[in-house]
Structure 1
Amino acid sequence: MWVQRVIDATGWEPLGLSVDWATVEGELGVPLPADYKELCEAFGGGVFSDTVSFLGRSEGASFDFLTQWRASLSFDQSWLGDVSAFDPHAVYAPGGKGLLHWGSTEWADEYAWLVDAERPGAYPILARSHDPGPWVRYDMSTSEFLYRVLADADFRPFGIAQYELGTTFQPGLGGHVDGPPL
């Protein structure tokens, strides 16, 4: 229902991408939310309303979920030691508990799931605005959160509809992946 609302709001023609979710989820060690996978298959990765970056499946590293996760995990573990760039949370590592980022804004707002390998299937969304404020928890699906960010002028502080930017989607670097799926 919410995925279709995002599609309708943007006027996007779903790509129908084929993604090897078993491989993706095998690397992560947890299943991803079903509606997120639908969003990825419909949109790939890219930018909504010239403002909201969505990490999905994209031929360019900038919008590819796994590429960005690997980079964040490496940085969080290699450079920061016991401190995380996403304090008080760490980047999710297989078998553990932490954040899996799936979106952001040009204003440096961040959107992630708080994932716990011991509780697969629970995907609360944590969002943080550009100022160094606390993470805000949302118990809703990824697609509902994304829809509210894009189309609900009263969804504050993360909604962008109040700025009347339009609800569009621009695929990242070529729009989709030609070749073998992830």
Structure 2
Amino acid sequence: MDDALIGTQVPHRRLTDPASAIQALEQAVPGLGALRRTAPAGIDWESAETGLGVRLPSDYKLLGDTYPSLVFGDFLFVGFPPPGQEQAWAEDPDDLEILAEWCEDAEMPVPLRPFPAPGGLLPWATSYSGDYFLWTTGGAGPDEWTVTVASRNGDWWHYEAGAVQFLADLISGSPEPWALPTVRPSVVGC
């Protein structure tokens, strides 16, 4: 695979306010509002971030405080640390080990590396088909991270937005779902 095969898609406008990104996701998935918590989840984000060794993006943390773990379109799973188990969640190496193998097998001129390498990829969601949705870490901080998609068939692509905006845009059909099926606007809480 050569570097030209790693495409990048850019939204019309990047949503930098976490509440605006969640509002866009709620508009893309009409049933999502019914799953909204009446009080924040109580996730100790500081403990999770200490375990990971990095701060997490504000939009992801707000989504986790506002909603349970979610499955979109019977396809895409977004999980959050269970309250009281943040350290164990942060220290689970399984996804990073798989990702390290994928990065090694990708044979790209500019290698992609898993976190904690500088600018490394950090998983934030998976699909039931074995695809990974990752943050490309680095830059000015976690709220500037963008999304990288690693499909089970070896295709990789970038989306220049945060995780929650990516979900909203993907479900509403804004970007091309390269190597992914169309994600229906249905949701189930876990």
TM-score (norm 1): 0.70
Kept in 2: contact 1:17–1:41 (CA 8 A)? yes
- 1:44 CA drift (Å): 2.5
- Letter of the 1:100 counterpart: L
Q: What aligned pairs does 1:122-137 form with structure 2 within 5 A after superposition?
A: 122-133=144-155, 135-137=156-158
Counterpart in the other structure of 2:55: 31
Kept in 2: contact 1:125–1:138 (CA 8 A)? yes
Distance of 2:119 and 2:45 partners within structure 1: 20
Cα shift readout 1:102-137 (whole Å, capped 9, x = no counterpart): 112233332100123x7533312111233212x212
Query: Where in structure 2 are there 5+ consecutive unaligned residues?
Result: 1-19, 105-110
Distance of 1:19 and 1:10 partners within structure 2: 25
Kept in 2: contact 1:44–1:58 (CA 8 A)? no
More relative contact order in 1 or in 2 (CA 8 Å, sep 6+)? 2
Distance of 2:112 and 2:145 partners within structure 1: 15
Taking only the aligned residue pairs, the percentage that are identical comes to 20
Q: What aligned pairs does 1:68-147 form with structure 2 within 5 A after superposition?
A: 68=92, 70-73=93-96, 75=97, 84-87=101-104, 88-93=111-116, 96-116=118-138, 119-121=140-142, 122-133=144-155, 135-147=156-168
Kept in 1: contact 2:60–2:163 (CA 8 A)? yes
Runs of 4 or more consecutive aligned structure 1 residues displaced over 4 Å after TM superposition? none
Correspondence 1:2 to 2:26: no
Would the alpha carbon gap of residues 168 and 57 (structure 1) be closer, same or farther in structure 2, given more than 3 Å must change? farther
> C-alpha root-mean-square deviation of aligned residues, in Å?
2.9
Kept in 2: contact 1:45–1:58 (CA 8 A)? no
- 1:86 CA drift (Å): 2.8
- 1:140 CA drift (Å): 0.7
Cα shift readout 1:80-117 (whole Å, capped 9, x = no counterpart): 9xx63333433313x7442111112233332100123x
- Letter of the 2:102 counterpart: A
Kept in 2: contact 1:111–1:125 (CA 8 A)? yes
- Letter of the 2:67 counterpart: F
Q: What aligned pairs does 1:35-54 form with structure 2 within 5 A after superposition?
A: 35-54=59-78
The aligned length equals 155
- 1:21 CA drift (Å): 1.1
Distance of 2:59 and 2:150 partners within structure 1: 22
Distance of 1:44 and 1:11 partners within structure 2: 14
- 1:3 CA drift (Å): 0.8
- 1:51 CA drift (Å): 0.9
Distance of 1:40 and 1:142 partners within structure 2: 12
Kept in 1: contact 2:130–2:152 (CA 8 A)? yes
Would the alpha carbon gap of residues 28 and 67 (structure 1) be closer, same or farther in structure 2, given more than 3 Å must change? closer
